[in-house]
Amino acid sequence: MVERPQDLQAWLDRAERALNAGRWTEARELLLPAAQWLPRVPQIQHHLGTAHLVLGQAQLALDSAQRALALAPAQWQSQLLQGRAYKALGKMEAADASFDAALTLQPGRGEALVAKADLAMNIFGLPLQAIDLVQPLLKQPQHAVDAELTTLMASLYDRYIPAAALTQRVIGFSQQHMRLPQLQLPPLAPRRSAKTRPRVGLISPLFCNSPVYFLTIFGWQHVAKGSDIVVFNRGYKSDWASAAFRALSTQWHNVQTLSAEALARSIHAQDLDVLYDLGGWMDPVALKALSAKPARAMYKWVGGQSMTTGLDSFDGWIGDPWQSPLHLQHLYSEPLVNIPEGYATYTPPSYLPALTPWSRRSRTPVVFSNPAKLSRAFMAYLHQMVGPICFVHQQFQYARTRAKVDEALDGSRARAEFIFPASHRQALEILGGFQTMVDTFPYSSGLTAREAQAMGLRVKVFTGELFCERHSLHLRR
């Protein structure tokens, strides 16, 4: 144990300065001994938990938050911290209950409403509820940006305004809130020699078992043969897919805790010839950093690629004639760069199941999709069907998510059946037992449509205008 200093207040002041400056590792190392010297001070436990959480140590964050609450049960900030730690640990119902507790202590608190809205949209599949939760915050300067971003993203799932109007709202939002006007990065010098291996940067929070792996790893394996791959990792998940990205990279930078300005400077320091953003609207901090154009050239590709970023710093948006036909260029702030054969190549996992014979497959239609994509219009379409419909997704484990489907089908001759697989491997095994998948609209299936095709299913395809509304059109080829 670190020896207690004579001037303990000076030590605590250093910790507070580190917290305020976002120097999270330093703050944690200062707060760890302080929590032992002063175990009855709830604020120290709370701040230590905050540092743990930012550094990806969710269980330690939860432990600290609970110690803080045991000392000060009325501290709403620690309820909020507890909820965020539960979410990072995958305990979503407990997270939501903690956010409710924070709201009981501080009714209308913006941070808790935004956190509940995130769960509603991204976990429980209730985007309209997310919009309702943040509606009161749109006129509050402190939370209006988060509320507007939540509303825009939720509107993709259950759209109530035309595509062009939503696009203009996103572009306006980006121009106002997704820029770093005070940051002027020095121009990068021209490349020294044509013989120098190009430096190619990748940035994403999902260098793991995710669409970013399955739809891009084939391309990076080719690029790595003649280029140095520099990875900027914005996430904390680490698995076999992460190992594949690490194996390709020349440099790997963990930049999860950096502010937008610090991230822009970090990218700029790597002297990149080209940077590919693989995070998009999943990572607004990174988008804000990329508004400063910290690489010689930048392209938006797979990962949060639902619709335009609204930024003018990108040199191109990588799509194809199905996803982003040139006549829809007006829906993008980025120049469209279409790959004739298709914008992405699906690489199946090693555990892709063998195909089930057609005669042994169920004729019950399957909906294999994030429940957030079950829009009112899509559910009205299903309402006209007769017989069972099987809904497959891990998120159907939540009663409120299943209730959304049951309520939408109430009074129809259709009947919902639910399967919530415990793993990706199990999900593919289940999928292979069906003949037909009905794709969602307006937000269509991306990776899952390709997985359905790989498992031999027929896919009922719909279309729209935005990028995320055209994901499965390649199946019509």
Sheet holding 387-392, edge to edge: 414-419, 387-392, 366-368, 436-438, 458-460
Decide: 126 and 399 in contact? Cβ < 8 Å: no
Q: For residue 142, is pLDDT > 80?
A: yes
Nearest by Cα to 204 from 176, 248, 181, 236: 236
Q: Which tens digit of pLDDT belongs to each residue from 418-452?
A: 999 999 999 999 999 999 999 999 999 999 999 99
Predicted local confidence at residue 160, as pLDDT: 84
pLDDT reported for residue 250: 97
| pLDDT given for residue 191 in this prediction | 76
Tell me the mean pLDDT in the region 7-14.
95
pLDDT of residue 475: 75
Is residue 442 reached through a cis peptide bond, with omega within 30 degrees of 0 on the bond before it?
yes
What pLDDT was estimated at residue 190?
Answer: 85
3-class secondary structure, 377: helix
Q: What is the pTM of this model?
A: 0.94
pLDDT for res 435: 97
> What rounded mean pLDDT belongs to the chain?
96
Instruction: State the DSSP code for 313.
Output: -
> Using 50, 70 and 90 to split pLDDT, how confident is the model at 473?
confident
SS3 content of the chain, % helix, strand, coil (to 5): 50, 10, 40
% of the chain surpassing 70 pLDDT: 99
Q: What is the pLDDT of residue 119?
A: 98
Q: Is the pLDDT of residue 217 over 80?
A: yes
Ramachandran category for residue 112: left, alpha or beta (phi over 0 → left; psi -120 to 50 → alpha): alpha
28, pLDDT greater than 80: yes
Determine the 3-state secondary structure of 373 from DSSP.
helix
Domains, the chain: 8-177 (1.25.40.10), 199-338 (3.40.50.11380), 358-476 (3.40.50.2000)
CB 431 within 8 A of CB 368: yes
Distances (CA, A) of 81 to 44, 62, 206, 461: 13, 8, 23, 42
The yes-or-no verdict on residue 314 having pLDDT over 70 is: yes
pLDDT in tens, 460-470: 999 999 999 99
pLDDT at 477: 54
**Per-residue pLDDT averaged across 13-30, rounded?**
96
In this structure, the number of other CB atoms found within 10 A of the CB of residue 476 comes to 9
Residue 309 φ then ψ, to 5°: -75, -20
- Residue 476's pLDDT band (cuts 50, 70, 90): low
Cα 456 to Cα 450: distance, rounded to the nearest angstrom: 10
Provide the pLDDT confidence category of residue 382 given band limits of 50, 70 and 90. very high
Take residue 353 and report the two structure tokens written for it. Answer: 């199941």
The strand pair at 458-460 and 274-277 is best described as unpaired
Mean pLDDT for the stretch of residues 126-139: 97
User: Which parts of 89-143 fold into alpha helices (H)?
Assistant: 92-105, 110-122, 127-134
Place of tokens 């930048």: 298
**Reported confidence tier of residue 302, pLDDT bands at 50, 70, 90:** very high
Residue pointed to by tokens 């609204």:
310
Percent of the chain, pLDDT > 90? 95
Residue whose tokens read 């392209």: 299
pLDDT tens-digit map of 339-380: 999 999 999 999 999 999 999 999 999 999 999 999 999 999
